[in-house]
Amino acid sequence: MVEFLVLATLALVGLSVAAIVGFVFFLVKMVLWVVFFPLKLAFWAVFFPLKLVSKMLWAPVGLAFGTLGLGLGLIGLPLLFLVLGAVLVFGIVIAIIGLLIPAIPFILLGLLLWSMFGRSAATV
C-alpha cells in the first residue's frame, strides 16, 4: 500500500513540474506577444496596400490561366476517360485469365479420363 502512495506522490510531483514549466512558457509567449504585436500591426498597415494592389494586378493573369486550364481540361477529360476505360477492360481480361489458368490441369485431367473411360464410338 505504501508503494501506491509513493507512486501517487511521484506522479503529483511530475505533474507539478510540468505545470510550472508550461506556465513559464506561457508567460514568455505573452511577453513576446505584447512586445511584437504592435510591430506586426505596423508591418500590416504598411504592406497590406501593396499586397492588395499586387493581387488586383494579378487577377487578370490568374483568370486567363484559369480559362486556359478549363479549356485544356475539357479537351483532356474525354481522353483520360478513354485511357481509363482501356485500362479497366485490360484489367478485367487479365483477371479472367488469371482465374482460368489454375483450372487448366483439371481440364486436361478430365479430358484424359474421358478419353480413357468414355464411351467408344458407335460402330455400324
How confident is the model over 3-19, as pLDDT tens digits? 999 999 999 999 999 99
In the chain, domain spans: 2-115
Q: Is the dihedral of CA 17, 23, 26, 28 positive or negative?
A: negative
pLDDT at residue 64, as a whole number: 96
pTM: 0.43
pLDDT at residue 45, as a whole number: 92
Residue 36 in this model has a pLDDT that exceeds 90 = yes
